Structure 1
Amino acid sequence: MNLDVFAAFLMGLAGAGHCLMMCGGLAGALGAKPPLRDLLSYNFGRLTSYAIAGALVGLFSQLLISSFSPMLIGLRFLAAFFLIALGCYFGGWWLGLRKLEALGRPLWRKIAPKAAQLTQYHRGKGALMSRFSAGMLWGWLPCGLVYSALSWAALSGSASSGALYMLVFGLGTLPAMLAFGWFSGAIQSVLKAKGFRQAMGVVMILYGCWVAVIALRQTLLMG
């Protein structure tokens, strides 16, 4: 597997506890241990939105890089910053990403009621599509974890690769979201535990430092 794709998956997997806190509200609205098809429909909708966002970011970065090739190094530094910031966010050492999340809250206040309404649609042939649509809306929740993943998708330099990175990132978050609906409270407690979140924070910080070193080396080679 391409290392960048693996990094996207690792980012989603490392954010397990964060996913439970941010997206658990809507998943919980499906009820305790909902039918697996409902839970999967909701999550596939969420992953679809991630892929769309990744495609848009990837396309934008492709346009930037094609007009100014050194921009790729700048995007790598940006991704390194977000990885380190995300690690600090996980560990509770620095919560600067919350300020970025706050920028999207006005829009989210308008979207959230519709997402909740779709989640409450329980019967009929349109039920699964309602879950899917609710998941798509929830995929636009202002989230530091998602923003960090999008900065990584920007490195892909194309719409298709950006969509792939965000899809793989979403797959990394699936274990946590499926845990919410199907696994025991003990497993959820582990994923939310401070020690687990701090350990994942250290992993993200170290990875971010490594990405920054790569970007610095590329800068020096260009000089």
Structure 2
Amino acid sequence: MGLAGAGHCLVMCGGLAGAMGGNGQQRAPLSVLFSYNLGRLASYSLAGALVGALSQAAFGQFAPALLALRFLAAFFLIAFGCYLGQWWLGLQRLEALGRPLWQKLAPTAATLRQQQSLPARFFAGVLWGWLPCGLVYSALSWAALSATPASGALYMLAFGLGTLPAMLAIGWFSGAVQSILRGQGFRQAMGALMIVYGLWVAVIALRQALAMS
């Protein structure tokens, strides 16, 4: 999911990543880029752990509930694919729910971004990880399906690592490569791939449901 969302990441977070990565410089030092992105991955992992813990507390290993979560994860994959391809933008409604929190965090993130120390930039990245994003929310549905804090954290860490190439690409990939990744054709191809995967997950869940009945 993280790799498939590269074009989305560049479109939605490219400006923010560029600002965090160099304050207007053409190429930011890799240490700076890694500091920001490690902070972002830390937030994703924390969110995954929290969602996994909530899922575990609410459902435990109750098979019907976990099956319902699998259907939900399949729905989010399909919704994410439609979001990438710009065919249906329903995930924007979820993003709207997270905007009030981001509006409170953004000033602090901007202040930290102006500081030169790597720890300050790391914590700016931590705050960046709470930017409202339909891609992140789709990944969190899989963290919920894991039903444990550790697995949820690992799911979101893997997702974050998948987004890392696109975010490190800001200021490092050529304009031609960035144009391809941002292009509608690339995003629609990745969106179609996610929809197919989501349908496959739904079929697996349906077979499990029939086997339980």
TM-based fold match above 0.5: yes
Q: Does 1:184 align with 2:174?
A: yes
For residues 187 and 113 of structure 1, the distance between their equivalents in structure 2, rounded to whole angstroms, comes to: 32
Q: Does 1:44 align with 2:38?
A: yes
Structure 1 gaps, min length 5? 1-10
SS at structure 1 position matched to 2:87: coil
- How is 1:196-207 mapped onto 2 (pairs within 5 angstroms)? 196-207=186-197
Residues 18 and 90, structure 1, Cα contact 8 Å, conserved in 2: yes
For residues 26 and 67 of structure 1, the distance between their equivalents in structure 2, rounded to whole angstroms, comes to: 40
Q: How many residues align?
A: 209
Partner in structure 1 of residue 143 of structure 2: 153
Residues 88 and 94, structure 1, Cα contact 8 Å, conserved in 2: yes
Is the alpha carbon distance of 1:19 and 1:114 closer, same or farther for their aligned partners in structure 2, counting shifts above 3 Å? same
- How is 1:50-199 mapped onto 2 (pairs within 5 angstroms)? 50-66=44-60, 68-122=62-116, 127-199=117-189
Q: Does 1:209 align with 2:203?
A: no
Partner in structure 2 of residue 19 of structure 1: 9
For residues 153 and 203 of structure 1, the distance between their equivalents in structure 2, rounded to whole angstroms, comes to: 20
Superposition RMSD in Å: 1.1
Q: Give the AA of the match of 1:16.
A: A
For residues 158 and 133 of structure 1, the distance between their equivalents in structure 2, rounded to whole angstroms, comes to: 26
Residues 16 and 173, structure 1, Cα contact 8 Å, conserved in 2: yes
Q: Give the AA of the match of 1:197.
A: R
For residues 61 and 199 of structure 2, the distance between their equivalents in structure 1, rounded to whole angstroms, comes to: 28
Residues 58 and 157, structure 1, Cα contact 8 Å, conserved in 2: yes
SS at structure 1 position matched to 2:63: coil
For residues 73 and 107 of structure 2, the distance between their equivalents in structure 1, rounded to whole angstroms, comes to: 32
Q: Percent identity?
A: 72
Question: What TM-score comes out, normalization by structure 1 length?
Answer: 0.91
| Larger mean Cα displacement after TM superposition, 63-72 or 37-46 | 63-72
SS at structure 2 position matched to 1:181: coil
For residues 110 and 82 of structure 2, the distance between their equivalents in structure 1, rounded to whole angstroms, comes to: 31
Residue 64 of structure 1 and its aligned partner are, at CA, apart by 2.5
Structure 2 gaps, min length 5? none
Residue 67 of structure 1 and its aligned partner are, at CA, apart by 6.7
For residues 114 and 16 of structure 1, the distance between their equivalents in structure 2, rounded to whole angstroms, comes to: 26
Residue 69 of structure 1 and its aligned partner are, at CA, apart by 2.9
Residue 181 of structure 1 and its aligned partner are, at CA, apart by 2.9
For residues 159 and 61 of structure 2, the distance between their equivalents in structure 1, rounded to whole angstroms, comes to: 28
For residues 65 and 166 of structure 1, the distance between their equivalents in structure 2, rounded to whole angstroms, comes to: 20
* TM-superposition CA deviations, 1:109-132 (whole Å, max 9, x none): 11112112211112xxxx101110
